Amino acid sequence: MKSRFEDIDNAIKYYIKDEIYVETHKELEELIFFSSYTIKFDVFKKGTQKLKKILREKLPMSMHIWEEDATRVIQKYHLAIDYGTERYTYLLRSLLKAQIKINEAVMGHFIRLCKQAHSFEYIESRAEQIYKLLFDGIEKEALGKTSSSL
């Protein structure tokens, strides 16, 4: 269902698509592989749940946190929105909704990458890099102990 602010709705749709693309195409593979055994999704989930709680508030007090993003969206998508207007408030709420969608997409992407990182085929394909990482770590540790004992 479209609102009466169709230009804002369209801009937010493209904003979500752009942000999800940026977030899911970052060079996260190495980070995920080597840290996925310790990373907990609870922190990210709780943050997203907090955003949903804020969204349920009638007049959220923390809407000002979206003002920087609002300025960016207004400029990027050439929107005619004046600060403090009903359209501006609508944009802020739309950005809050957008962040929830972006967070959920990024969590899904991260979970898929973690599952891939733990698959035997993936580990086997990265054996040389894993060995190098482990060997370099052991070598650096050994060199550190040698130089400190001198």
Taking the domains of the chain in order of start, what are their residue ranges?
6-118, 120-150
Measure CA of the first residue to CA of the last residue in the chain; give whole Å.
73
- In the chain, the amino acid numbered 4 is R
CA distances to 9, 64, 92, 102 from 98, rounded to whole Å, are: 10, 15, 10, 6
- In the chain, the amino acid numbered 92 is L
Q: ∠ CA 92-97-98 to the nearest 5 degrees?
A: 90
Q: What is the pLDDT of residues 68-108, one digit of tens each?
A: 889 999 999 999 999 888 999 899 989 999 999 998 888 88
pLDDT of residue 98: 93
pLDDT above 90: percentage of residues in the chain = 23
Give the confidence band of 129 by pLDDT, cuts at 50, 70, 90. confident
Instruction: Check pLDDT > 60 for residue 149.
Output: no
Instruction: Check pLDDT > 70 for residue 115.
Output: yes
pLDDT of residue 1: 46
Q: What is the pLDDT of residues 10-51, one digit of tens each?
A: 999 999 999 988 887 776 555 555 455 455 667 778 888 888
Q: Which residue has the tokens 């359209």?
A: 87
